[in-house]
Chains A and B, each alone.
Chain A
């Protein structure tokens, strides 16, 4: 150890130096307090032996200065003193001394004290090192929480639908605690809502939210039923998350006209259904385990199916609401919550939120709070993103043509799907592929069935005939030796209209396309043609029915 001796008596200094050097220490000497402070700053010793009474500057003042120089670092200072009155000794400790050794100095005591203080110093250094590490880790965690929260809020708030059927309230706690709110529209126009509450906090919870939301949006875009969505999410979470992590969740689907709710709930507080006046009609309890716990074969997918009246409202909320604490540590509780749903609150959604906030007061929010309100009425929102503004000059004309031969006609997957896939890439027609698919499918059915295979719709007039027709189609197609269907598509822009011209020519003998009487509405056949005509701008069969030309138009001005 490096030891500084501050002592005005030269003989004492020399004696101490001998003892310390014999014990393997490095020694620095100073003859008074002032020199002691200077030497201390110059050599940064590990321990100081300090005389009390010295000329120029005494030991008390020198200790004071050394301590203020050191700040939080600890270097033991041991006073060497002949003084024995309590007041002087106390004074020495008060200014930052750590111990005393009485003069005359006993070598054994000196050695023992130096050892003891060197141990304390080591412990101190360890502690301060750990402290620095801890502070660093704490800052890192804080940072992660901030990132998690940020990722979460931007990623998921953007995905919330702008719909008059939905109101929501999300209030994350200072640290992200794992609440998730997702909404989506199914292809058929029904509305999905999901409120989930993950176990755990911070990053782990945010990570769990990612697979959950992906699975949710995938399922929503397929138009899956609530029970299938629940099963899917459960499976995905089970696969992605460690065993101790899971998510309580409530999933609802409201059909497009807002008359029916389908609800699956696992591990969530009761959902509430009110009438238009905000009076509680029904409490809906979670009947299942949270998502991510049960294996696929144990999972229970049964749902509530509730027929609702126009204007009814469904509320999902996370436990952050009933479990909110006020400054006295009292919980908000179920009873206070339900009071907003007795029909007297003008707007239960607002009054619950306001009351909950004023209840907790200055108390910092301990858990995330999420509330979702679904208003039962026809779903109002744009189910598909609006087509982006297209500069007319960016629209280019194109032609596509193909001749389908026997091989393609026999293929079990319809060649029409392939053709429509090509069209799907066009920036104007991309959003019209459903209708174009229908048109092409009908044209193709006519060309193949009536033109090439020579089937007559007359067969289809009865229920059994209907089956018979398609049985014959199968047989004749299998035996088909020759025949082809030529499909040509061309797209062009004419001022503010996009025009897709379709021509389909088959090698068949043609069919009686125009002799067919007007379709009776009870007949189960003959609808293809009228369907085509109502979807297109115009359509015309010619060459005895083996050729059809039509135009499908898209309005480009908005």
Chain B
């Protein structure tokens, strides 16, 4: 379980990739991954390696959205079907770009 953070300086895009389970165990790491980013225009949450997520992860995403503000476009990419279903059930497609 780990959080990997990479930034593309040209495009001002922050990418956060979550490996394994996206749940309360990574609350702190996840927050650290975006809290120091300033001046970014877009944020990508790459869930390609995320096997499961729970409702605490939904909360984390919403907190991130609040913290980064409306100007930063957040997209959640590479979701597995079960994760996509959780996001859709929770209507996250309204606030995030889910790919």
Q: Which residues of A contact B (CB under 8 A)?
A: 186-190, 222-225, 255-257, 383, 434-435, 437-438, 441-442, 445, 460, 463, 466-467, 470, 473, 521-525, 527-528, 530-531, 534-535
Asked if A470 contacts B90 (CB within 8 A), the reply is no
Asked if B66 contacts A445 (CB within 8 A), the reply is no
Asked if B28 contacts A524 (CB within 8 A), the reply is no
The 8 A-B pairs with the shortest beta carbon distances in the complex, nearest first, are: A434-B82, A524-B59, A528-B55, A188-B78, A187-B80, A524-B62, A223-B48, A527-B55
Tell me whether chain B's interface is mostly helix, strand or loop, or mixed: helix
B45 adjacent to chain A (CB < 8 Å): no
Asked if A224 contacts B49 (CB within 8 A), the reply is yes
A-B contact pairs, 30 of them (CB 8 A): A186-B48, A187-B80, A187-B81, A188-B47, A223-B78, A224-B48, A255-B77, A256-B99, A257-B99, A383-B81, A434-B52, A434-B82, A438-B52, A438-B54, A438-B82, A441-B23, A441-B54, A442-B54, A442-B55, A445-B54, A460-B59, A463-B63, A463-B66, A463-B67, A473-B24, A521-B91, A524-B59, A524-B62, A524-B66, A534-B89
Chain B 30-61 interface residues, beta-carbon cutoff 8 Å to A: 31, 47-49, 52, 54-56, 58-60
Asked if A531 contacts B63 (CB within 8 A), the reply is no
**Given A463-B66, A463-B67, also A531-B89 (CB < 8 A):** yes
Instruction: Write the nearest CB–CB distance from B5 to chain A, whole angstroms.
Output: 15
Instruction: Write the nearest CB–CB distance from B7 to chain A, whole angstroms.
Output: 15
Asked if A466 contacts B63 (CB within 8 A), the reply is yes
B79 adjacent to chain A (CB < 8 Å): yes
**The residue from A186, A521, A527 contacting B94, defined by CB atoms under 8 A apart:** A521
Q: CA of A485 to CA of B52 in the docked complex: distance in angstroms?
A: 22
Q: CA of A528 to CA of B89 in the docked complex: distance in angstroms?
A: 11
With A187-B48, A463-B66 given, can you name 8 additional A-B contacts, CB distance below 8 Å?
Answer: A186-B48, A256-B78, A435-B82, A445-B56, A467-B27, A524-B60, A530-B90, A531-B55
Q: CA of A119 to CA of B28 in the docked complex: distance in angstroms?
A: 90
In chain A, what residue has the closest Cβ to B35?
Answer: A463
Q: Which residues of B contact A (CB under 8 A)?
A: 23-24, 27-28, 31, 47-49, 52, 54-56, 58-60, 62-63, 66-67, 77-82, 84-86, 89-91, 94-95, 99
Asked if A523 contacts B48 (CB within 8 A), the reply is no
Q: CA of A280 to CA of B44 in the docked complex: distance in angstroms?
A: 30
Question: What's the count of A-B pairs with C-beta under 8 Å?
Answer: 99
Q: CA of A458 to CA of B26 in the docked complex: distance in angstroms?
A: 20
Chain B residues with CB below 8 A from A445, complex form: 24, 54-56
Asked if B31 contacts A527 (CB within 8 A), the reply is no
Chain A residues with CB below 8 A from B99, complex form: 255-257
Q: CA of A335 to CA of B62 in the docked complex: distance in angstroms?
A: 54
Asked if B62 contacts A189 (CB within 8 A), the reply is no
Instruction: Write the nearest CB–CB distance from B85 to chain A, whole angstroms.
Output: 7
Chain B residues with CB below 8 A from A463, complex form: 31, 63, 66-67
Chain A residues with CB below 8 A from B91, complex form: 521
Chain B residues with CB below 8 A from A466, complex form: 27, 59-60, 63
Interface centre among B23, B84, B99 (most CB of A within 10 A): B99
Q: CA of A491 to CA of B40 in the docked complex: distance in angstroms?
A: 50
Q: CA of A301 to CA of B60 in the docked complex: distance in angstroms?
A: 31
**The residue from B47, B52, B55, B56 contacting A437, defined by CB atoms under 8 A apart:** B52
Asked if A528 contacts B48 (CB within 8 A), the reply is no
Instruction: Write the nearest CB–CB distance from B93 to chain A, whole angstroms.
Output: 12
Instruction: Write the nearest CB–CB distance from A532 to chain B, whole angstroms.
Output: 9
Chain B residues with CB below 8 A from A441, complex form: 23, 52, 54
Q: CA of A534 to CA of B66 in the docked complex: distance in angstroms?
A: 25
Instruction: Write the nearest CB–CB distance from B97 to chain A, whole angstroms.
Output: 11
Asked if B82 contacts A225 (CB within 8 A), the reply is no
**The residue from B66, B67, B80 contacting A223, defined by CB atoms under 8 A apart:** B80
